[in-house]
Amino acid sequence: MSPEQLDNIALEYKKKVKIYDKVVKICCGTGCISSGSLKLYDRFKDIINLEGLAAKVLVKKTGCHGLCERGPIVVFGDDEILYQSVGKRNVNEDVKSLIETIKSNKIADKLLYKGDDKTKRYVSPLDIPFYAGQNRIVLSLNGTIDPEDIDEYIQRGGYRALYKALKMNTDEIIDWVQKSGLRGRGGGGFPTGAKWRSCKDAEGQPKYILANGDEGDPGAFMDRSLMEGNPHAVLEGMIIGGYAIGSNQGYIYVRDEYPLAVNRLSKAIEKAREYGFLGRNIFNSGFKFDITIFRGGGAFVCGESTALMSSIEGKAGEPRAKYVHTVEKGLWEKPSNLNNVETWACVPHIINKGWEWFASIGTQGSKGTKVFSLVGKVKNTGLIEVPMGMTLREIIFGLGGGIQGDKKFKAVQTGGPSGGCIPAEYLEMPVDFDSLTKLGSMMGSGGMIVMDERNCMVDVARYFLTFLVEESCGKCTPCREGVRRMYEIVERICNGNGDKGDIEHLEELARAINLGSLCALGQSAPNPVLSTIKYFKDEYLAHIEDKKCPAGVCKALIKFSIVPEKCTGCTLCAHECPVKCITGKKKEVHTIDQAQCIRCGTCYDNCRFDAIKIE
Ligand SMILES: Cc1cc2nc3c(=O)[nH]c(=O)nc-3n(C[C@H](O)[C@H](O)[C@H](O)COP(=O)(O)O)c2cc1C
Ligand code: SF4
Ligand code: SF4
Ligand code: SF4
Ligand code: FES
């Protein structure tokens, strides 16, 4: 393959698409597929064929567009019109009405994105606040290209960075990555260039290039969407890394629960081999490189670097002490360079546009952009990419549109089980590696869980401890036993059996677990507890001393009752109560049978007259 051949492929692709009047992009990321987008795609194709429009309208599948909350998403042209929730109620009707708009050159108002007040409608995705504040670099082709069509990736500039890199000196490439300021997107934020340099300088052959696509954090789906939506970007980054470091073999470790990512990556690898981007003598440079997919072991700890390598070797995915770094002795005791898939996908952009360009985005210590999955009690949940340094307020209230039901914002959990909860007083905080660490949380791989006044912070700590107790590999005692002890204490507090001194005991255990654990799972396991104690100590005290759960979540500590002065007798609560323990006639005050109430909170969430009180 030569650059001229790349140009030819791009030209041919352009010619192929030019004949169509309209391009219809249907999101076929996991989120939209689960809301029925594959059926939608098939219906679109059928009706287009039936109406004899196949020569005029190109219907294609894309990866995730980010706005999963409103899926299935359908976009016409290049960001011309975005349609949301298409086919959610009636596939045939929606498809027919969209095809009608193509024929009559009109817009289907009903399916447009609606603003908060439900009156303002947006046509182009670029105008929707969720997208308008983003800077999509890593995700620039997600939702745009067909991830299974290598020609389209090439037409959008794909594999040009690889060609350029192969003409560069390997030290120069590492220099560029170092000067760009790129830090690992997998959690720790380690400088990528420095890691590459150590691996290149390490003694021993062969060397291995590894991509971490394990993504075990609850609530996170950034890496999945990238692997599903633009797999070639990850491959291109890895091939460049392989050349720079002096490796001929790469492995992508993909979470076992991500079959679509495995499928799209496999197809991408096959095509890259066919086109000569993988294999022998890539771009006639004499460099050879190949990539193999390895499906994860199904445990959160398998994302840890040494556990991941053991898992690829066919052993149990357990971490080992890192007296010797994996860049020197990693996979099969050979020098190995592991980076997160998002880190790899940044590399082609740095080579294409230069390290100065990348370094000009972000903050002093954290360059470039970061992909986050914004979930929880926020209005627009989904996948976003923002420049490092954007404030939490800009992310949650700007892109996220604020809190569902306009409730009060309470905290945001960043960094998954290794991270912590950040309260409202830090909403103006810029989001970058160092600021989050300073607050006792972490960037992690980019999960952001937004919480409102109806989230109990002690219960949140219990949730993460439950996860970590299950996920601890059990190799070392402080983590195996200590995290379980922490869980037992927090569970007791939530059940109303907290004792004076429990908080101090938790803090003491946290210190011991942090100091004594072998890997970062145990070392960071106390973070969700410590950060909730730091910022929400009054909630712990209310549970322990007053035996009350102020947020109304911990079932043993709450009681729902109806305020007679406020109840209008609208009957909604009685209608929604799952155990039917609310009685009352229409337009009369209702009552709750406390003996039967399971304290689910449905009545509280549904009453429009503020007539249900939590005690
Ligand atoms: C328990 C645990 C789980 C981890 N899971 C992941 C993961 O799913 N994906 C990831 O990229 N890094 C994960 N990491 C971090 C990796 O060990 C490693 O630091 C990272 O893949 C390096 O890539 P980067 O420098 O590009 O961030 C995990 C770490 C720990 C301790
Ligand atoms: S800290 Fe926990 S997960 Fe890590 S090696 Fe020890 S027991 Fe296993
Ligand atoms: S929903 Fe509220 S106002 Fe309506 S009957 Fe129940 S408590 Fe009364
Ligand atoms: S809390 Fe749940 S079970 Fe209890 S009265 Fe309300 S809706 Fe019914
Ligand atoms: S999966 Fe369709 S928008 Fe995310």
pLDDT band at 267 (very low <50, low <70, confident <90, very high): very high
Task: Examine the pLDDT at 211 and tell me if it is beyond 90.
Answer: yes
Average pLDDT for 431-449: 90
Tokens at residue 232, please?
């070639």
Query: Who has greater pLDDT, 218 or 578?
Result: 578
Average pLDDT for 165-185: 97
* Nearest CA among 391, 81, 376, 338 for reference residue 219: 376
pLDDT of residue 89: 87
Q: Which of the residue ranges 41-55, 111-125, 249-263, 521-535 would you say has the lowest mean pLDDT?
A: 111-125
pLDDT band at 523 (very low <50, low <70, confident <90, very high): very high
Task: Examine the pLDDT at 508 and tell me if it is beyond 80.
Answer: yes
Task: Examine the pLDDT at 431 and tell me if it is beyond 90.
Answer: yes
Atom 7 of ligand 4: nearest residue by CA position: 577
Handedness of CA 308, 310, 315, 317 (dihedral sign): negative
**237 CA to centre of ligand 1 in angstroms:** 17
* 412: amino acid identity, one letter: V
Using DSSP's 3-state secondary structure scheme, residue 108 falls into coil
**Cβ-based neighbour number of residue 312 at 10 Å:** 21
DSSP category for residue 191: B
pLDDT band at 324 (very low <50, low <70, confident <90, very high): confident
What is the C-alpha to C-alpha distance for residues 271 and 151, in angstroms, rounded to an integer?
A: 10
Task: Examine the pLDDT at 117 and tell me if it is beyond 70.
Answer: no
Average pLDDT for 118-125: 86
pLDDT band at 120 (very low <50, low <70, confident <90, very high): confident
* Nearest listed ligand to the Cα of residue 65: 5
**610 CA to centre of ligand 3 in angstroms:** 8
27 lines ligand 5 (CB under 6 A): yes
Q: Which atom of ligand 3 is nearest to the CA of 562?
A: 7
Burial of 311 (0-12, 13-18, 19+ CB in 10 A): buried
DSSP letters, 317-377, are ------SS-TTTS-GGGS-EEEEEHHHHHHHHHHHHH-HHHHHTSB-SSSBSEEEEEEEES
What is the C-alpha to C-alpha distance for residues 50 and 28, in angstroms, rounded to an integer?
A: 23
Q: How far apart are the first and last CA of the chain?
A: 71
What's the angle, vertex CA 597, arms to CA 592 and CA 601, rounded to 5?
90
pLDDT of residue 445: 81
Tokens at residue 322, please?
């890192």
DSSP category for residue 36: T
Percent of the chain surpassing pLDDT 90: 89
Percent of the chain surpassing pLDDT 70: 100
pLDDT band at 118 (very low <50, low <70, confident <90, very high): confident
What is the C-alpha to C-alpha distance for residues 436 and 231, in angstroms, rounded to an integer?
A: 29
pLDDT of residue 515: 95
Q: What is the CA radius of gyration of the chain?
A: 26
Average pLDDT for 199-220: 94
pLDDT of residue 56: 92
CA distances from 353 to 101, 326, 347 (A): 39, 30, 10
State pLDDT tens for residues 12-46: 999 999 999 999 999 999 999 999 999 999 999 99
pLDDT of residue 76: 95
pLDDT band at 78 (very low <50, low <70, confident <90, very high): confident
Q: Which atom of ligand 4 is nearest to the CA of 600?
A: 2
Task: Examine the pLDDT at 450 and tell me if it is beyond 90.
Answer: yes
Average pLDDT for 151-180: 97
Q: Which of 32, 221, 227 to mutate to test the pocket of ligand 5 (most atoms within 8 A of CB)?
A: 32
